Amino acid sequence: MTAYLSNILFGILFFVLVGLFVRNIRRIIRNIKLGGPANRSDQPKKRWLHMARIALGQSKMVRKPLSGLLHVIVYVGFIVINIELIEIVIDGFLGTHRIFAPYLGYVYNVLIATFEIFAVLVLVSVFFFWTRRNVIRIKRFWKPEMKGWPKLDADIILYAEVVLMTLFLTMNAADYWLQTSAQDVHYAQAGSFPVSQFIAPLFDGLSVSQVITVERTAWWLHIAGILVFLNYLYYSKHLHIILAFPNTYFAKLTPQGQLSNMQSVTDEVKLMLDPNADPYATPAADVPPNTFGAADVTDLNWVQLMNAYSCTECGRCTDECPANQTGKKLSPRKIMMDTRDRLTEVGLTLNKGKEPNTNILLDNYISREELWACTSCNACVEACPIAIDPLSIIMDMRRYLVMEQSAAPTELNGMMTNVENNGAPWPFNQQDRVAWREEINT
């Protein structure tokens, strides 16, 4: 009866937490779809290769060798160790113990040993990550936008990794002790334990029933912790564990320095420049744009919103930003964090069946000073390890300021006036420029 009750409790735990995770993912997808259209279905082969190289192969992470290597260890360890979740889930539903061991034989021993080695490597890597953030205090982790929840979130993830890996090794250590020191058929010899065998002697003073309690407690906390962690992703920057793959697949494949144009504006300009066109003609646009540029998250496209959810807050973009390096207010990381925060705010009101409030992205989250500080150099895009494009959001919001509010800086307004009147950014007409050129040539 106790075994059946345990199976039922496991089923309830599993389906409730997985159900919450599915609900949260559906909400994220809904929020991303609030963005406008963006055609990223072209060149599928190139996109798959791009995703494989950057998201799976971590090619941009290792540009910083130390942090890149540590991240690869944690990344691979996370994937490898969680393979055992398949067995844990099956055992939880069926009431079995290490169900794969009789079928895999020696391969099972290799797998368990590999899991344990990676668990230790993950613990070592997490120690270095924590030290870099909190002892060495690397500058990019202590920018103004990294106060409060972003700082706490980064540490919570590291502590969670330590707890999960410790529970995994404790579970295996108790299991190993029971296999070698107790006559319990349920704990038949299975697996190889190169790390936890050195922890097992800590249980020598305990009774068999007490060690079983330790093993079962660690087992339950380990699987429950992983399921809780899945739901924590919804509130955390570590959502990139899932979104890094679609984010790199749908990334821009055109040259990084190529900026997007609004088709309606392009058609209008082409018509104006066509000497054979009817001066009273208008472009045959299918649907006129609701707004020029972006003032809020719903004015951005869905790829930009997915970028915001995918941001790892690593700060490599801000670290490379020349405007930020020279003391300007702009931080590309903050642009992505603000976009995500505003999108989350909109999503929460939708969850309650209400309309979003009047706090829009422009001015309430991202200031005009930040937008105009950008040099459009594309360093942030090049630096991002998962192909996020903060520049596209900055340019769309600038476009809104110029085309909807005529709110460009004085210097830029002067330049655009000169282009309109003189055909060049300088305050001299064509005759003056020709005279100046001839004077130089003589």
Residue 65 main-chain phi, psi, to 5 deg: -55, -50
In this structure, are 155 and 280 located in the same domain?
A: no
Residue 168's domain comprises 2-32+64-249
Percent of residues in the chain assigned helix, strand, coil, to nearest 5: 70, 0, 30
CATH number of the domain at 404, please: 1.10.1060
The answer to the question of residue 86 being in a domain is yes
User: Same structural domain for residues 109 and 140?
Assistant: yes
Query: Which helix (DSSP H) or strand (DSSP E) does residue 224 occupy?
Result: helix 208-232
Q: What SS3 state is found at 284?
A: coil
- Copy the structure tokens of residue 138: 């690397």
Tens of each residue's pLDDT in the chain, 442 residues:
466 888 899 999 999 999 999 999 999 999 999 999 999 999 999 999 999 999 988 899 888 888 888 888 888 887 888 788 899 999 999 888 888 988 888 899 999 999 999 999 999 999 999 999 999 999 999 999 999 999 999 999 999 999 999 999 999 999 999 988 876 667 778 889 999 999 999 998 898 889 999 999 999 999 999 999 999 999 999 999 999 999 999 999 988 788 888 777 787 777 777 777 776 676 665 566 778 899 999 999 999 999 999 999 999 999 999 999 999 999 999 999 999 999 999 999 999 888 777 789 999 999 999 999 999 999 999 999 999 999 999 999 999 999 888 888 888 888 888 887 877 788 777 777 777 777 777 6
| 244 and 267 within one domain | no
Q: Does residue 320 share a domain with residue 191? A: no
Do both 73 and 211 map to the same domain? yes
Q: What is the DSSP letter of 192?
A: -
Q: Examine residue 43 and state whether it is found in any structural domain, yes or no.
A: no
CB atoms within 10 A of CB 331: 26
Q: pTM of whole model > 0.85?
A: yes
Give the single-character DSSP code of 144. G
Q: Is residue 45 part of a domain?
A: no
Around Cβ 268, how many Cβ atoms within 10 Å?
A: 14
- Counted domains in the chain: 2
| CB-count burial class (<10 Å; 0-12, 13-18, 19+) for 381 | buried
Same domain for 228 and 307, yes or no, is no
Distance of alpha carbon 196 from alpha carbon 79, whole angstroms: 20
Token pair 């915001």: residue: 308
For residues 88 and 26, membership in a common domain is answered with: yes
Is 254 inside any structural domain? no
Pair 16, 165 in one domain: yes
One domain, residues 303 and 219: no
